Each structure stands twice: as structure tokens, then as C-alpha cells.
């Protein structure tokens, strides 16, 4: 029997998670909750997902000719797990409702750190999420950081991490966000929330993060400096990157920007150009004794999608080993193996 | 008698240096060399600078009604010092011609490191430039780095520097440069040229720099991590910043972006909105024992202008103390003292 998944919020993350759920062998999309009948709902309809909305909006949807399967609460009666991909902070308000219907919950990184017991990354704490009631999948930047640091920690213990995060200003569709010119130091007083969020996943760690917002929509870029407990070789670090799921390596002689990367992805990797992986520039990796620096890109719209899928499996509890869940997710979504 | 200065190349830097020279009590603009009669020449004419051009272009200029005072070589007969602000690499080709006419030379950071004996910053090596034949004023980013590191080094010896430079993609007028979308890791293999260039000014130093180009025209932003020989206090570091010329401090509660900064400058600091200073966010300064991190903005079009002025004075050799030259330059250009 498949895990019945409801998607609440069908925006940037919701639509991608719904599509990814629909491709998994052990899951199905029971329905999508959409509060406004804007353009995004038509893509959900075309994909054949049952549409649900707020009770007060049912008539509005029907007047637009949208076939509504029921209300938000109707959907909750019929699902095992909800992926809440509503705007930051809305998920927390929905939590009691989910609990009332006995539905397990996957929240996104915009929700408060303490909303669930577990701030989730599949590589790190699948076991803690196993059969839990609720997990919070950390944000795109934090997911990128956690993967990269997890890979390093396989080589040697992390003593300290200093990261500069150049954030995309908005997603393409976000017409009210900025900047469209200039660089924004956000926050001006460090750390950015990423340091706190990484610790929510990895535990106590000497980490400091600065974030600069840039006028771009395509992807974030992170520059990492880490000190490890031991001196390390470039070979060891590269090997750790190569053997960590959801990390791919590219070289500067092939491409050097998020722009080329996204175009490359559309053409050669995936139809929609989504990039689920941390894309590390292998020539950016610099080793100096126990010091490691490197740079990677994070596609903010897509990077948390595989983590959402694994989070669903962990909560459902049928697959107990993270490696197994990751393997299924990555095979279905075609993650990794770009240059094989 | 005033120092007679010729400006070769009247683009982003040339026009600003010419204007700044014209304001100094001890200098005058003897002429401006312009190779193409585009819009920029009309601003030079309006300011009353004598216009010179290549021999082959004199007729073209005259046909457009531009009053040409003579050829490039005519100007060289009549000046003490040339500021060469031609596109990167062109200055090196001009050097022999300048030498032939016995004219001293100020080049820009786009020229090769070894073009002159001295890669110049007024705070660091005015004495080495004194009465020399030639100096190379380092680029905008390097100038920003050198100032910031010089300030730190007043507190304690620099053990290591790791810097992330988020570069503006182009100046406003540069219609053929990019990116207009995406982030470019440039180069993908570190260090960026800035590390090498900083060492050309400061001497041997453990410095590593990564540079990311962003789609913005307004200013660069640098995130610095430095290790010092001793533990330091925030007070000591702030005091060093406050007492270093050409550094100003702003707070995140006033502004947090290069966009607001440039708008603020236009309105409150200077008519044209040029920013000659390193603008450090005081709340970005983070101290951890002997580790210091902080962030500042560098207005790429303007930051080297005061250094060019001091370079002229050093070569002329009439003012032997850097502090005296800096004081005159900064007073004339209204540098510093933003919030007094």
C-alpha cells in the first residue's frame, strides 16, 4: 500500500515535492491544497492531482471552472502524511489541525526551529525522524551546508566552519521580492540564521555564517572555510565529496557560473532544469594543512525536494535505513552521475 | 608652481581622477587624452580640460566640432605626470612613450604587477613611491583589501587572511559586460588575483581570496576573516577602523545594502554619489579570540581616486609625508566624517 501524501501549498516547493512524490514507487499524491486559484493551480490540475482548498474558497474555485475535490480538512481525513509547503510561518499555524486529524507532518525550513523535534537532513538524522510525528526539512541553504559539512566530517572532525552565503534575491516567479540591483548584507550582524539552523541538524558546532543577497534568481553560491581536527589531503576530501549522495563535482573548464549550470541542467540533466545536488567546483577546493576551502552552488527551488521525499519515508517508517530511502529517491529523480 | 597632470583615458577612472586633480591646490589638469569622440569627451570639454587625441584621430574629432589642443605626444611635452587610466593592458604599451618624454607615470591596477617597482597604496608605501618614475595604483578591490588589512595590522600582526569578494559585474556604463543574471565564480580555482595583488603591496602574507561576480553595478562587498598574532578586543579593532583614513563605519540599522549606500551618498555625502571610502558595517565586526571577521562595501568607480591623487604627489616629491598628502586629498574631496 502506498503512503498517501497531501501537499499543502503548491508554490515553489509544493509543486516540486508533489511531482517527486508522484514518481516514487511507494507514495501517491492524495491531493493538493491551494488557497488561491492562480496560475499554479492549473499546473496541478494538468498533472491530475485532486485539488482541495479552504472551505471559504470552494465557491471561488468552482466559479473559475476548477474541479474541487473538497476542503483542506476533507483532505486531512484521507492522508497519512502532509507536506506543508506554505509560506514561512503558516505551517506552524496549521500544525494543530494536522495533529487533530492524526496526520504526520513534513514542514519546511521557514518554520520555527522548535516546531518539530527534528530538523531533518536525510544524510544526518533519518533515524531520529523515523516514525516520528513531525519533521522540519531545513531550508535550501542549510540543506546545502549540512550536506557539504557532513561530507567533510567523514574525513575528519569539524573544528570550525566559516561560511559566506551569496543568496539569490528571489525565485523567478517572486515578482515582489528584491533586490534587482545592489548587494544586501542580511543580516548586518552575524550570524545569519543558517549557522543556527545548521546546529539544529548537526548539533553543537563552531560555525559562523555571513549572508549577502544578490540580484539573481538562479541559485545560491556558498564559500566554505572549515578547520578539521587533522591535516587532510585533497584526495581524501574529493573522495568524501564523490561518495556523498546529492553532491556532484564540476570543473571550471566546463562551467563557472550558476547561469551556465542551470542552462546545462535544462539541456543535459533534467527537463525542468532543477538541480537537486550541491554542485561543488572541484577546482575551488583548496587544502592548507587542516584547513579546507571550497565553493558550491545550491539551486534554491529544488535542493530540498529529495529531503522532503526521504522525510516522508522516515515518518511512514516502512523503510528504516536512510541509505535505502536515499537510494530510491535518487534513482527515481535521477540524482547524481552527471558525467558518467 | 602646480604639478602639471595629463590624464590618458577618460573613462570611469580617468574622468574621476581628472576632476579630483582639478580640485587639488597643488595640481592642474594639463589635458585629457581621448581616443574616441564618444559622449565622455563632451563632459571633459564642459569641464574645460584641454582635449588631446591620437594623431590619426585629430581630424575625426575636429569634424565633430571638438576643439582639439593637440596630439597625445603634444600633451606629453607639456606635463610632469601622466595618469594612465586606459583599459587594462594598454597602459603597459604606453609606458615607453611616457619614458621617452621624461614624464612620470601613474598606472592603474589592470596593468601587470611588475610594470612599476611600486604597487601603490597611500597608507602603506608612499615612501617607496616618493620621487619614483612610476607607480601602479592597485585595483579597487585590492585598494579596499589593503586599507582594511592595514587597519587590522595596526592592532596586531596579520597571521592569515581569507576573503570572499562579491564583485559587481559591470559599471553602469559598461553595456557589454555581465552577467545580468547568475553568479560567476571567477576564477574557479583560487586564489583570485586579489591575493597576489595584496601581496604586491603588503609583502608576504598568508592570504587566500575567492571572488564571485554578481549582477550588480553599484559596489563590491568583501567578507574578511583574519587571524591576528594576538587576541584582540572589539574596541581595539573599531578604534583602528575609526583612525584609519578612508574607512567609514555604518550600522545596519541605518542601511544594509550597496543600493541604499549609493543612494545615501548621492543625497547626503557627495553630489555624484561617489564613495571614496571603505564602508565597513560596524555590526558585522565579529571577534573570536585572535579571529576577526567583518564586511564592507567598495565603490569600484571611486575608491582608487584618492590613491591616484596621492600617487601623483608622491612621484612629484614635493610632499614627503604620506599623512600630509592624505590630509590634503581627503579634505579637498570631503572624505570621511560622514556622521559628524
pLDDT digits 0-9 by tens, B38-51? 999 999 999 999 99
Nearest to B254 by CA among B148, B164, B338: B338
pLDDT at A98 (0 to 100)? 98
pLDDT digits 0-9 by tens, B154-198? 999 999 999 999 999 999 999 999 999 999 999 999 999 999 999
Under an 8 A CB cutoff, do A214 and B183 touch? yes
The overall average pLDDT reported for chain A is 97
Q: Where are the domains of chain B?
A: 3-138+304-333, 140-298
Thinking of the domain A3-138+304-333, which architecture would CATH place it in? 3-Layer(aba) Sandwich (3.40)
Under an 8 A CB cutoff, do B260 and A185 touch? no
Copy the grid coordinates of residue A37: 486559484
Using an 8 Å CB-CB cutoff, list chain A residues near B257: 179, 182-185, 213
Looking at the partner chain, which of A183, A260, A286 has a beta carbon nearest the beta carbon of B166?
A: A183
Fold classification of B140-298 (topology level): Dihydrodipicolinate Reductase; domain 2 (3.30.360)
* % of chain A surpassing 70 pLDDT: 100
pLDDT at A232 over 90: yes
pLDDT at B145 over 80: yes
Under an 8 A CB cutoff, do B188 and A283 touch? yes
CA distance B126 to chain A (A): 33
Using an 8 Å CB-CB cutoff, list chain B residues near A226: none
Using an 8 Å CB-CB cutoff, list chain A residues near B210: 223, 284, 293, 295
- The stretch A160-173 carries a mean pLDDT of 97
- Catalytic positions of B are 140
pLDDT at A173 (0 to 100)? 94
pLDDT digits 0-9 by tens, A131-157? 999 999 999 999 999 999 999 999 999
pLDDT digits 0-9 by tens, A40-72? 999 999 999 999 999 999 999 999 999 999 999
pLDDT band per the 50, 70, 90 thresholds, residue B339: confident
pLDDT at B13 (0 to 100)? 97
Helices B122-129 and B193-202 pack at an angle, to 10 degrees, of: 60
CA distance A124 to chain B (A): 28
Q: Does ipTM top 0.85?
A: yes
pLDDT at A23 over 80: yes
Three state DSSP letters for chain A: CCEEEEEECCCHHHHHHHHHHHHCCCEEEEEEECCCCCHHHHHHHHCCCCEEECHHHHHHHHHCCCCEEEEHHHHHCCCCEEEECCCCCHHHHHHHHHHHCCCEEEECCCCCHHHCCEEECHHHHHHHHCCCCEEEECCHHHHHHHHHHHHHHHHCCEEEEEEEEEEECCCCCCCCCCCCCCCEECCCCCCCHHHHHHHHHHCCCCEEEEEEEECCCCCEEEEEEEEECCCCCHHHHHHHHHCCCCEEEECCCCCCEHHHHHHHHHHHHCCCCCCCCEEEEHHHCEEECCEEEEEEEECCCCCCHHHHHHHHHHHHCCCCCHHHHHHHHHHHHCCCCCCC
pLDDT at A340 over 80: no
- The stretch B71-92 carries a mean pLDDT of 97
Q: Which residues of B touch A (CB under 8 A)?
A: 162, 164, 166, 179, 181-190, 208, 210, 212-219, 221, 223, 225, 251-252, 256-260, 262, 281, 283-284, 286, 288, 293, 295, 297
**Chains A, B: CB pairs < 8 Å:** 146
Under an 8 A CB cutoff, do B218 and A181 touch? yes
Q: Which of A82, A103, A140, A207 is catalytic?
A: A140
- The stretch A274-288 carries a mean pLDDT of 98
Q: Is the pTM higher than 0.90?
A: yes
pLDDT at A293 (0 to 100)? 98
Residue of A257, A263, A283 to mutate, interface with B, max B Cβ within 10 Å: A257
pLDDT digits 0-9 by tens, A307-331? 999 999 999 999 999 999 999 999 9
Looking at the partner chain, which of A184, A216, A295 has a beta carbon nearest the beta carbon of B182?
A: A216
List the beta bridge partners of residue B207: B161
Amino acid at each position: 500500500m502506498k503512503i498517501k501524501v497531501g501537499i499543502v501549498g503548491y508554490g515553489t516547493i509544493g509543486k516540486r515535492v508533489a511531482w517527486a512524490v508522484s514518481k516514487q514507487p511507494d507514495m501517491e499524491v492524495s491531493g493538493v491544497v491551494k488557497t488561491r486559484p492562480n496560475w499554479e493551480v492549473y499546473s496541478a490540475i494538468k498533472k491530475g492531482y485532486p485539488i482541495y482548498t479552504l472551505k471559504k474558497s470552494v465557491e471561488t474555485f468552482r466559479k473559475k471552472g476548477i474541479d474541487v475535490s473538497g476542503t483542506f480538512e476533507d483532505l486531512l481525513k484521507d492522508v497519512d502524511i502532509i507536506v506543508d509547503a506554505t509560506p514561512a510561518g503558516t505551517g506552524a499555524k496549521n500544525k494543530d489541525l494536522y495533529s487533530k486529524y492524526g496526520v504526520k507532518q513534513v514542514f519546511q525550513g521557514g518554520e520555527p526551529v522548535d516546531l518539530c523535534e527534528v530538523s531533518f537532513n536525510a544524510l544526518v538524522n533519518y533515524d531520529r525522524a523515523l516514525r516520528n510525528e513531525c519533521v522540519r526539512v531545513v531550508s535550501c541553504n542549510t540543506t546545502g551546508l549540512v550536506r557539504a559539512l557532513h561530507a567533510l566530517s567523514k574525513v575528519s572532525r569539524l573544528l570550525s566552519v566559516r561560511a559566506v552565503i551569496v543568496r539569490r534575491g528571489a525565485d523567478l516567479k517572486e515578482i515582489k521580492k528584491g533586490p534587482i540591483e545592489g548587494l544586501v548584507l542580511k543580516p548586518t550582524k552575524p550570524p545569519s540564521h543558517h549557522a543556527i539552523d545548521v546546529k539544529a541538524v548537526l548539533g553543537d558546532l563552531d560555525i559562523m555564517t555571513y549572508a549577502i543577497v544578490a540580484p539573481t534568481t538562479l541559485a545560491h553560491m556558498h564559500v566554505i572555510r572549515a578547520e578539521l581536527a587533522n591535516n587532510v589531503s585533497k584526495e581524501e576530501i574529493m573522495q568524501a565529496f564523490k561518495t556523498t549522495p546529492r553532491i556532484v563535482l564540476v570543473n571550471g573548464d566546463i562551467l563557472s557560473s550558476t547561469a551556465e549550470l542551470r542552462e546545462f541542467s535544462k539541456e543535459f540533466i533534467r527537463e525542468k532544469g532543477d538541480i537537486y545536488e550541491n554542485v561543488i567546483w572541484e577546482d575551488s577546493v583548496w587544502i592548507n594543512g587542516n584547513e579546507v576551502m571550497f565553493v558550491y552552488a545550491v539551486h534554491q527551488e529544488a535542493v530540498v525536494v529529495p529531503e522532503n521525499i526521504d522525510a516522508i519515508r522516515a515518518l511512514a517508517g516502512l523503510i528504516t535505513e536512510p541509505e535505502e530511502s536515499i537510494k530510491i529517491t535518487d534513482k527515481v529523480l535521477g540524482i547524481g552521475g552527471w558525467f558518467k
